[in-house]
Amino acid sequence: MSDKNNKSKFITSKILKEAFIESFKKLHPKYMIKNPVMFVVEVGFIISLFLSFFPNFFGDEGNNLRIYNSIVSLILFITVLFANFAEAIAEGRGKAQAENLKKTRKDTLAKLIDDHGNIKVINALDLKKGDIVLVENGDIIPNDGEVIEGIASVDESAITGESAPVLKENGGDFASVTGGTKVVSDWLKIRITATPGESFLDKMIALVEGASRQKTPNEIALNTLLVSLTLIFLIVIVTLYPMANYSGVKIPISTLIALLVCLIPTTIGGLLSAIGIAGMDRVTRFNVIAMSGKAVEACGDVDTMILDKTGTITFGNRLASEFIPVGKSDMTSLIKYSVISSLKDDTPEGKSIVELGNEMGAKIDFKAYEKLNFIEFTAQTRMSGIDLSDGIMIRKGSYDAIKNRVKEMGGIIPKDLEAVVNKVSSLGGTPLVVCVNDRIYGVIYLKDTVKPGLVERFQRLREIGIKTIMCTGDNPLTAATIAREAGVDGFIAECKPEDKIEAIKKEQLEGKLVAMTGDGTNDAPALAQADVGLAMNSGTTAAKEAANMVDLDSDPTKILEVVEIGKQLLITRGALTTFSIANDVAKYFAIIPAIFTIAIPEMQIMNVMKLSTPYSAILSALIFNAIIIPLLIPIAMKGVKYKPMRSELMLLRNMLIFGVGGIVVPFIGIKIIDMLITPLVAVLNLG
C-alpha cells in the first residue's frame, strides 16, 4: 500500500469481472434480505416474471400484457443486478488490497527459545502468546510482538509501502514489531503478543476485504429511514389496487410494481452499502487501517482535535531560526562564522544553520574547508567548531561553555550577550553562542520549528468547525509561542498523560467528538478515551490496541486528512440520499399520469414531460431508475468532492447540486429514454 498503490487505477478489469460474477451470486434471497429496499425490488421482479408466463393470474387483461410483464421483469432484474454490482465493486477493491497483504503472510518458520535458552525451529502458526522467539538478519518476523532484547533494522515495506528500514529496540515507543515484516540487520528477541490468526496483519486483511465490516450507527439510522419509506409506499400501493378497481380503473399488477419501485428510494438503497465500504477503502488506500466503519464515520463528526506538539505540529528537532549579533559584531560576520563552524556538522541543528545562512546570502565554498579539522560536540565540552589553517578557531556552543572559553583566552564578554541568551531561553529556544578565538560574535536562535503548511491546514479545520488543541511538555511561554505560530485554537502546557485524558473528557462532556494521535504506552488511555484514536504503527502494542485507527506510515499529522476523509464519507452519503429522494419527483410525474390518464383524462395535465404513451412513460421511468445506479457508482466510490466550509454553506451547496440536480436530471433522462423507446413500444403494440 505504497504511494504507487494509492495512485493505482480506480477500477481494474479484474475487479470489474469479479464484480460482475458477484452481482449474480448476491441475488440469493438470503443475501438480498439484508438490503430491504432492493429485496422489495427483487420480489417485484419475481412477481413480474411469474406474470410473464401467467399474465391473467390476477385477472389482468390487456393487449400483449405478457410482453409488457416480461419487459418490466427484465428492467427490475437489471436494477437489482446494478445495485449488487455497485456493492461488489466496492468489495472488490478491498479484496484486491487484501490479496496484496496476504502475499506478506508466508509459511514462516520461527526460532522459538525455550525455558532453557535452547532454540527450536517451529512453524509460526504453532506460536502462542507469550512465546520468546529469535529473529536474525534476513528472517521474517513470525507474529506481532514486543522487542525484549537487541537492536535491529526492520523492513516494514510489505505493510507500510515505505522502503526505508525502521530501527527497533527494547524499551520506548519503538519496541513493537509486526508479523510479516523482515529483519535486515542484526538480531532481536521478541515476545509474541498475538495468537495466530489474530495478528495485526490478520485484522488488516479481514477489515480491508470487508469480512469484519459492520454497519455504522448513521448507516443503520439511514437504512431504518429507507425501510420505513419502503413500508409506507408498499401500504400505499397495496391499498391503491382495490381503490382503483372500485373507481373503475384497471391497473396491471406489473404497473403497480413499477410504481412501487419508482416510489421507494432504490437509488440510495442500491448505493448505501457501497458508500460505506468505499469510505473504509479510501482510508485504507491512505495507509490507515480503521478498526471499524464506525471509526471512519466518527472522523466526519469530529469537533475537537487533540494534537501532540513534537513530531506532529513541530519537527521535534531544534532548527536554526535567527542569527542575533551582539556587541559591535555585524550580521554578515556572524552568519559567515556560524556557517563555517557547521559545514561538517551532520546534526539536524548543524545542517539547519548552513541552510539558514545560505538563505540569508552566505557564500561559503565548502571545498575550501573540506580537509580542515572539525571539532565534534561532546557532553564535556558542550561546543563544536572548526580550526582554520591560519590559526583561527571558530566555536559554537552553550552560553556557559563559550563564555568560559573566551574568558580563559583573555577576551571580553559583550554586555548584551546575557540578555539575548535569556530572551531566547524564555521563548523556549536554545541559544548557541558563536565565538572566533577570544571574541564573541553573537547567538544562533535554535527553536522547534512548526511544520510548513500546518497554518493553512488548521485554518481549513477551523472553517469546518473543528477546534485544535496542542499538548506539550514545554513551559507556558514556549507553548504559547508555538501555538501562535502554528495557528492552533488552544494549548495545554507542561502536559502530562493524565492531562490529555482530562482534556478529552472535558470536551466530551460538552457533547463534542474528540480525535487524537499517539504512539506511546502512556498515550494508550487517552487514545481509548477519544472518539477517534489514531495510533502510529511504529508505536507500542498498547497504543495500537487502544486506538480505533492505525497509521501504517506513522505520520502524526495524517489525522488531519483522516478527518477530512470522514467528512467526505458523510457528505457523500447525504448528497446521494438527497439526489435519490429528489429524483423520485420526476418519476411521479412520469408514472402517476400514465396510470390514471385513461380513466381520468384530467390527469393528462400532470404529464409535464409530454411522454408518448402510458406504457412508454412507465418503462422510461423504470429504465432511468435502473441505469442511474451504475452511473452514480464513481461518485459513491470516489466520494463527493470535499471543500472546507461552514456546515450551512455546505448544506446549501449540496442541496443546489444534488437536490435541484436530482430533480432536473431525471426529467431530462426520462424524456430522452421515452423518445428512444417509443418506436419499440409502437412495434410491440403495447397499450
DSSP alpha helix (H) spans, 103-181 = 157-160
C-alpha cell at 208: 480491508
Residues 6+ positions from 183 with CB-CB distance below 8 Å: 135, 136, 137, 138, 139, 140, 141, 152, 153, 154, 155
pLDDT at 109 over 90: no
Q: Which of 517, 552, 587 is the last residue of a domain?
A: 552
Q: Quick one: pLDDT at residue 211?
A: 44
| Residue in the structure block whose three cell numbers are 522467539 | 133
Q: Which of 499, 520, 552 is the last residue of a domain?
A: 552
Residue 6 lies in a domain: no
Three-state SS letters, 209-259: CCCCCCCCHHHHHHHHHHHHHHHHHHHHHHHHHHHHHHHCCCCCHHHHHHH
Residue 151 lies in a domain: yes
377 labelled ligand-binding: yes
396 labelled ligand-binding: yes
Greater model confidence, 656 or 201: 656
What is the model's pTM? 0.64
| 213, 80: one domain | yes
For the four alpha carbons of 508, 511, 512 and 513, in that order, the dihedral sign comes to positive
CA distance 231 to 8: 42
Greater model confidence, 464 or 631: 631
pLDDT at 323 over 90: yes
Greater model confidence, 300 or 360: 360
Residue 101 lies in a domain: no
pLDDT at 6 over 50: no
379 labelled ligand-binding: yes
| 434, 333: one domain | yes
Residue 381 to residues 334, 439, 672: CA-CA distances in angstroms?
21, 18, 85
pLDDT at 5 over 90: no
Residue 511 lies in a domain: yes
- pLDDT band of residue 599 (cuts 50, 70, 90) is low
| 440, 522: one domain | no
| 369, 504: one domain | no
pLDDT at 1 over 50: no
Percent of the chain exceeding pLDDT 70 equals 87
| Residue in the structure block whose three cell numbers are 498515550 | 523
Q: What does the longest C-alpha to C-alpha distance in the chain come to?
A: 118
Residue 72 to residues 47, 219, 238, 615: CA-CA distances in angstroms?
10, 30, 18, 10
Q: Quick one: pLDDT at residue 207?
A: 55
Q: Which of 493, 525, 552 is the last residue of a domain?
A: 552
617 labelled ligand-binding: no
pLDDT at 7 over 50: no
CA distance 678 to 687: 12
β-bridge partners, 110: 122
Q: Do 279 and 296 form a contact (C-beta atoms < 8 A)? A: yes
CA distance 528 to 286: 22
| 145, 89: one domain | no
When computed from its CA atoms, the radius of gyration of the chain, rounded to whole angstroms, is 34
| 364, 433: one domain | yes
- pLDDT tens-digit profile of 532-572? 888 887 667 777 778 888 887 777 777 878 888 888 888 88
519 labelled ligand-binding: yes
Query: Among all residues, which ones are annotated catalytic?
Result: 308
Q: Quick one: pLDDT at residue 364?
A: 83
CA distance 256 to 249: 12
pLDDT at 38 over 50: yes
Residue 469 lies in a domain: yes
pLDDT at 187 over 70: yes
pLDDT at 496 over 90: no
Residues 6+ positions from 629 with CB-CB distance below 8 Å: 79, 82, 83, 85, 86, 266, 267, 270, 271
Residue 268 lies in a domain: yes
| 585, 471: one domain | no
Q: Quick one: pLDDT at residue 601?
A: 73
| 576, 645: one domain | yes
Greater model confidence, 2 or 450: 450
381 labelled ligand-binding: yes
Number of alpha carbons in the 13 Å side-chain half-sphere of residue 283: 36
Which SS3 state, helix, strand or coil, does residue 36 take?
Answer: helix
- pLDDT tens-digit profile of 256-295? 898 898 888 888 888 887 787 777 777 777 778 777 667 7
Average pLDDT over residues 414-426: 89
| 591, 678: one domain | yes
Q: Which residue range forms the structural domain that includes residue 385?
A: 318-449
Q: Quick one: pLDDT at residue 497?
A: 77
Average pLDDT over residues 157-179: 68
| 445, 457: one domain | no
Output the domain CATH number for residue 364.
3.40.1110.10
Percent of the chain exceeding pLDDT 90 equals 18
- pLDDT tens-digit profile of 474-488? 778 778 888 888 888
Amino acid code (one letter) for 573: R
- pLDDT tens-digit profile of 61-84? 555 688 888 999 999 999 999 988
Residue 675 lies in a domain: yes
- pLDDT tens-digit profile of 220-255? 788 888 889 889 988 988 888 888 777 777 778 888
380 labelled ligand-binding: yes
pLDDT at 592 over 90: no
Q: Do 505 and 497 form a contact (C-beta atoms < 8 A)? A: no
CA distance 381 to 398: 9
| 335, 434: one domain | yes
| 113, 191: one domain | yes
Residue 100 lies in a domain: no
Structurally, the chain folds into a number of domains equal to 4
Q: Quick one: pLDDT at residue 212?
A: 45
C-alpha cell at 85: 454490482
Phi, psi at residue 152, to the nearest 5°?
-160, 160
390 labelled ligand-binding: no
In 3D space, the residue among 261, 299, 262, 293 whose CA is nearest the CA of residue 279 turns out to be 293
Classify 379 in phi/psi space as left (phi over 0), alpha (psi -120 to 50) or beta.
Answer: alpha
CA distance 278 to 271: 10
Output the domain CATH number for residue 511.
3.40.50.1000
Average pLDDT over residues 309-322: 78
- pLDDT tens-digit profile of 465-476? 889 998 887 778
